[in-house]
Amino acid sequence: MKRKFNPAEYVRRIGCDLVRAFHDARQATTPALVGDAMEQPVRSRLEQILPRGIGVGSGCVVDSEGGTSRQMDVVLYERGLCPVFCVNDSPETTYYPCEGVLAVGEVKSTIGKRELADAFKKIRSVKILNRAYEAANGGPCVGRRYGDQGSSSSHGFHRDHTNKGDVLGFILAEKASLPVTLPDPSATDESAPRATLLEHYVDNVQDTENDVLCPDFLVLLEGTLLTPQTCTGSRPYTPVRFKNVLPHLIHPVYAESPFGELVKLIWKRHQDGLTAHIPLAHYLHYEAKTEPRLKWAAIANVDLDEVKLRIGDPVEIATPTDHLRDELAPLYRKRI
């Protein structure tokens, strides 16, 4: 029996449990069922370790302009603040406003060229959505911290200079189906792989053409973390909203507790990141296909004898129903 509790070791063991859960999931009989069996333990472990204010689900992310992402394996959202639109209680048809979403993730059993490209496209479909930030005269955007009810000018920032106002995107896999990096230089040419996961990662970054739309990191539960770094490697690289503005490294590092690194990066964005106020009125605005036409109306707090309003009588009176005077039929006089 240990005298002290070690939170880091606890989280590391959760990561080990996920590896075992991934192995068990392979007993399913179709690729779709295998995927579902892997995604569920990831969502369950994240919900177990993250603060209660962060909800864990799956589905699609939307914006107030009608944009809709592809279906995401993991959606982390503001529990208690973010409205959730769920069709027939199905996780596959659940939609979250992008302003209330903290992070999205793709879960893979093994990841190679095809799986990596698919994850890039799915995460891009979320990051390209437009959060309803307010900005005065081209000035800084006004944001709020995750969990706050409203926006504040003290949280102004320029979106072109940072990614802290964007949804975090991550890829989680048990292992890679090809080498992450090149083998030892002493290896023979015949034994050297034709391509590596790192090379495919860089190719996808180039194809995306905007660093902000790329995944923020890739976690392999076998012990590798791929994350952008500055060229000196001394600090994390901050993506900006222009194509290839700054050269940077995609730096593979060994992680003793890869799931712990994932939790730390999510927690950091929850603490340091910003989002916009959720414009619920915009999401719920319904554009009528035909112009509504009022047939009957009752006038409150108006003396009909004094106004002498009769059907078809052109009386000059400014009322909300002035243009409908020929269709008004006062049945009785009533004051409210």
The pLDDT mean for the chain works out to 81
Q: Can you give the pLDDT at residue 141? A: 84
Whether the per-residue pLDDT at 184 is higher than 60: the answer is: no
Q: Report pLDDT digits (tens) over 59-78.
A: 999 999 999 999 999 999 99
Q: So what's the pLDDT on residue 332? A: 45
Amino acid 335: pLDDT: 42
* Residue 321 pLDDT: 52
Chain centre distance of CA 115: 20
Residue 105 — φ and ψ, nearest 5°? -145, 150
User: What value does the mean pLDDT take over residues 165-192?
Assistant: 78
Alpha helices (runs of H) in the chain, residue ranges in sequence order: 7-25, 31-49, 113-127, 197-208, 258-272, 280-283, 304-307
pLDDT of 230 above 60: yes
pTM: predicted TM-score of the whole model, two decimal places: 0.80
Average pLDDT over residues 296-314: 59
DSSP-based three-state secondary structure for 58: strand
Q: What is the mean pLDDT of residues 174-199?
A: 73
Comparing 232 with 229, the larger pLDDT belongs to: 229
Q: What is the token pair recorded at 113?
A: 């060229």
Is the pLDDT assigned to residue 146 strictly greater than 90?
yes
In the predicted model, what is the mean pLDDT of residues 207-212?
82
Residue 187, helix vs strand vs coil: coil
Q: Span 144-155, mean pLDDT?
A: 77
What's the pLDDT score for residue 207?
A: 87
Percent of all residues in the chain with a pLDDT value above 90, rounded to a whole number: 37
Q: What letter represents residue 165's amino acid?
A: G
Structure tokens at 305: 């004898």
pLDDT at 333 over 50: no
